[in-house]
């Protein structure tokens, strides 16, 4: 029986058994058997079966000839290598070796989780994975800006029998089943964490021993949270003060796990939001104890000696301007749909000679000058980490495909054509990762795996947790318009698979299913077809990630620290047009 692992950018990293079709692996300790819509329909989405030049089919070797010729004529610093997360396998990064040697510009930062990651590093030093075993041992699970039913469904069985509290501006499926749902105003998580901390402080319920032994700067934190006035802050958050007080009390008396998602940090102050949630947890001593902890999208690079790490000149991913480059080489990404501010992205790509190395004829491939078909995850060797649990998945090659090329084969070919040396065999790279893992029966665990993370130390300079004590935030909540919520869709993986192109609105807008609206923001406009959704707040509209229009509205900006896209740092106006 052959096994592999789902390649998609997803918390779960499901183990897959290859039988007559792709099936879930019942033996896997976390993913335990079932796959989601995307993997169950993987073969319904046709893979590219040819290279294309200016829209015409050409052979793979002709495509590589054209690329070679173009690259040789171009100044290396005018070439951008833009790599996305269409496939989460480690071997995606092999192409960095070629482009760095060639002298191209690579990217730094993220469209995804870099803001939150930094917030965690500032407090704890490292963003370790919270093992599922600790979730299992907890009593209270706070699902904070994570839509686990859609994005992390294999964690659901671990929540059985726990008290579940959801903090989300949308009444998500998990919110409907939860003991409590705080349907907060979007972008007020920092204030909520602050109010919870205030209640804990007023009741003298902080974990004094933990604060004394394991943290620093608590006094500054205590002063900082006092600068938020209770009545006006609770009013801003938009939920009942009694609910906040109740949650603060639950957290004091139960073993608590907080599962923080991407939703809280798509903002300019995303780093501070996540650090504030961490600070609340530290105040209650929720680190380094059984059944406790805060899990975000964990950092899989911790303790990993990465053979594919390279030095290169880099530009910020969220605001990369394709128009500044003579050649844009896009791999495993569909920036026309997934990058903020689609109009700017399209205009940039029109100016650049665009090469897409991917598996689908997606929107970016359709506008590309040259398309190079990649092998899919079944057709090449790889290994992947999960950011949601402690297991690492091996992905051996299962089938052949003569019409496409793997990232390793592409790199090898380019090394040859450019006379570069130093590329090792594919097997050596994968072994390099594998040898760092901890074996657990048939499966592997992360090199940074700690059964109870931070039980010995934090990884800051002083080895202590470092509390937050200031925030810079100039967002104007009073600006006219609706908050734009843009989370993940159940049937798509960002721009891949079955997408949803509707704009969801609250019934109070008096719009009806099928109405057409023009939506505008300070950054752009687009037309959408409406669907009414009672689960929203009156002040919000929602369009899922992968929606073909939503990123026409989003800001071409990064967060306060310049690391991450800020898809939700915007308000939108809607007008019915038909």
CB of residue 441 to ligand MGD, shortest distance in Å: 26
CB of residue 285 to Mo ion, shortest distance in Å: 31
In sequence order, what DSSP letters do the residues of 463-498 get, joined into one string?
Answer: SSEE----------TTSSSEEEE----TTEETTEES
Query: Side-chain half-sphere of 21: how many Cα atoms within 13 Å?
Result: 9
**In angstroms, rounded to a whole number, what is the distance separating the alpha carbons of residues 457 and 98?**
39
Identify the H or E element spanning 4: strand 2-5
Rounded (5°) CA angle 124-127-133 = 105
Are residues 525 and 553 in contact, defined by beta-carbon separation less than 8 angstroms? yes
Q: Which is nearer to Mo ion, 183 or 386 (CB)?
A: 386
With CB cut-offs between 5 and 8 Å by kind, which of ligand SF4, Mo ion, ligand MGD, none does residue 395 bind? Answer: none
Q: Which is nearer to ligand SF4, 6 or 530 (CB)?
A: 6
Which parts of this chain interact with ligand SF4 (CB under 6 A)?
6, 8, 10, 12-14, 35-36, 38-39, 153, 493
**In angstroms, rounded to a whole number, what is the distance separating the alpha carbons of residues 477 and 483?**
9
Which parts of this chain interact with Mo ion (CB under 5 A)?
112
CB of residue 91 to ligand MGD, shortest distance in Å: 9
Q: Which is nearer to ligand SF4, 7 or 447 (CB)?
A: 7
Which parts of this chain interact with ligand MGD (CB under 6 A)?
9-11, 84-87, 111-113, 144-147, 150-151, 167-170, 172, 186-187, 189, 261-264, 331-334, 338, 357-360, 362, 374, 376-377, 485-490, 492-496, 545, 550-551, 554, 567-568
With CB cut-offs between 5 and 8 Å by kind, which of Mo ion, ligand MGD, ligand SF4, none does residue 14 bind? Answer: ligand SF4
In sequence order, what DSSP letters do the residues of 402-437 get, joined into one string?
Answer: TT-B-HHHHHHHHHHHHT------HHHHHHHHHTTS
Q: Which is nearer to ligand MGD, 237 or 466 (CB)?
A: 237
Q: Which is nearer to ligand MGD, 31 or 262 (CB)?
A: 262
Q: Which is nearer to Mo ion, 224 or 385 (CB)?
A: 385
With CB cut-offs between 5 and 8 Å by kind, which of ligand MGD, ligand SF4, Mo ion, none does residue 348 bind? Answer: none
CB of residue 340 to ligand MGD, shortest distance in Å: 7
CB of residue 37 to Mo ion, shortest distance in Å: 18
Rounded (5°) CA angle 271-275-277 = 125
CB of residue 135 to ligand SF4, shortest distance in Å: 17
**In angstroms, rounded to a whole number, what is the distance separating the alpha carbons of residues 66 and 137?**
57
Are residues 151 and 307 in contact, defined by beta-carbon separation less than 8 angstroms? no
**In angstroms, rounded to a whole number, what is the distance separating the alpha carbons of residues 402 and 50?**
10
Reference 284, options 260, 245, 256; nearest CA is 256
Q: Which is nearer to ligand MGD, 216 or 548 (CB)?
A: 548
**In angstroms, rounded to a whole number, what is the distance separating the alpha carbons of residues 127 and 125?**
7
Q: Which is nearer to ligand SF4, 12 or 278 (CB)?
A: 12
Query: Using only C-alpha atoms, what is the Rg of the chain?
Result: 24
Reference 341, options 354, 323, 358; nearest CA is 323
With CB cut-offs between 5 and 8 Å by kind, which of ligand MGD, ligand SF4, Mo ion, none does residue 39 bind? Answer: ligand SF4
CB of residue 230 to ligand MGD, shortest distance in Å: 20
Biggest distance spanned by C-alpha atoms of the chain: 72
CB of residue 198 to ligand SF4, shortest distance in Å: 37
191's tokens: 């204030």
204's tokens: 């003298």
Residue 4: beta bridge partners? 16
With CB cut-offs between 5 and 8 Å by kind, which of Mo ion, ligand MGD, ligand SF4, none does residue 264 bind? Answer: ligand MGD
Q: Which is nearer to ligand MGD, 357 or 433 (CB)?
A: 357
CB of residue 87 to ligand SF4, shortest distance in Å: 11
Q: Which is nearer to ligand MGD, 79 or 452 (CB)?
A: 79
With CB cut-offs between 5 and 8 Å by kind, which of ligand SF4, Mo ion, ligand MGD, none does residue 35 bind? Answer: ligand SF4
CB of residue 536 to Mo ion, shortest distance in Å: 22
């Amino acid at each position: 029986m052959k096994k592999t692992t789902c390649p998609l950018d997803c918390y779960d990293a499901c183990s897959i058994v290859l039988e007559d079709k792709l099936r879930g692996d019942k033996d896997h300790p976390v993913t335990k058997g079932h796959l989601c819509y995307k993997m169950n329909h993987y073969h319904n989405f046709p893979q590219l079966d040819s290279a294309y030049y200016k829209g015409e089919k050409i052979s793979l070797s002709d495509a590589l000839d054209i690329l070679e010729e173009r690259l040789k004529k171009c100044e290396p610093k005018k070439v951008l290598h833009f790599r996305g997360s269409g496939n989460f396998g480690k071997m995606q990064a092999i192409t960095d070796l070629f482009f760095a040697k060639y002298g191209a510009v690579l990217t730094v930062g993220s469209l995804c989780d870099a803001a939150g990651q930094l917030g965690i590093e500032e407090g704890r030093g490292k963003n370790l994975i919270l093992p599922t075993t600790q979730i299992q041992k907890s009593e209270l699970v706070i699902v904070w800006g994570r839509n686990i039913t859609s994005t992390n469904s294999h964690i659901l069985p671990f929540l059985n029998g726990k008290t579940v509290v959801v903090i989300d501006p949308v009444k998500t499926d998990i919110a409907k089943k939860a003991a409590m749902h705080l349907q907060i105003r979007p972008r007020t998580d920092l204030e909520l964490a602050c109010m919870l901390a205030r209640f804990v402080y007023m009741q003298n319920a902080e974990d004094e021993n933990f604060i004394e032994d394991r943290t620093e700067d608590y006094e500054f934190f205590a002063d900082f949270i006092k600068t938020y006035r209770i009545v006006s802050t609770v009013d801003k958050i938009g939920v009942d003060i009694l609910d906040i007080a109740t949650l603060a009390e639950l957290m004091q008396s139960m073993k608590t796990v907080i599962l923080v998602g991407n939703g809280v940090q798509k903002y300019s102050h995303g780093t501070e939001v996540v650090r504030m949630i961490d600070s609340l947890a530290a105040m209650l001593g929720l680190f380094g104890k059984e059944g406790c902890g805060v899990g975000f999208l964990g950092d899989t690079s911790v303790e990993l000696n990465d053979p594919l790490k390279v030095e290169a000149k880099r530009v910020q991913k969220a605001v990369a301007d394709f128009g500044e480059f003579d050649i844009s080489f896009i791999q495993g990404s569909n920036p026309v749909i997934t990058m903020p501010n689609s109009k700017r992205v399209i205009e940039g790509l029109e100016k650049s000679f665009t090469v897409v190395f991917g598996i689908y004829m997606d929107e970016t491939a359709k506008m590309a000058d040259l398309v190079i078909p990649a092998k899919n995850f079944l057709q090449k060797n790889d290994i992947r980490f999960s950011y949601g649990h402690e297991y690492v998945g091996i992905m051996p090659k299962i089938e052949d495909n003569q019409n496409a090329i793997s990232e390793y084969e592409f790199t090898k070919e380019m090394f040859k054509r450019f006379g570069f040396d130093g590329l090792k065999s594919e097997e050596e790279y994968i072994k390099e990762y594998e040898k760092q893992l901890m074996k657990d029966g048939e499966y592997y665990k992360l090199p940074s795996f700690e059964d109870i993370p931070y039980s010995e130390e934090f990884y800051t300079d002083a080895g202590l947790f470092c509390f937050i004590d200031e925030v810079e935030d100039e967002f104007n909540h009073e600006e006219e318009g609706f908050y734009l919520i843009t989370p993940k869709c159940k049937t798509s993986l960002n721009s891949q698979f079955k997408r949803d192109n509707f704009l969801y609105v609250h019934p109070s807008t008096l719009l009806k299913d099928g109405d057409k609206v023009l939506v505008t923001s300070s950054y752009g406009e687009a037309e959408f077809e409406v669907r009414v959704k009672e689960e929203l707040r009156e002040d919000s509209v929602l369009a899922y990630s992968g929606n073909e229009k939503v990123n026409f509205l989003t800001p071409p900006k990064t967060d306060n620290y310049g690391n991450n896209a800020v898809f939700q740092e915007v308000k939108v106006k809607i007008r019915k047009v038909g």
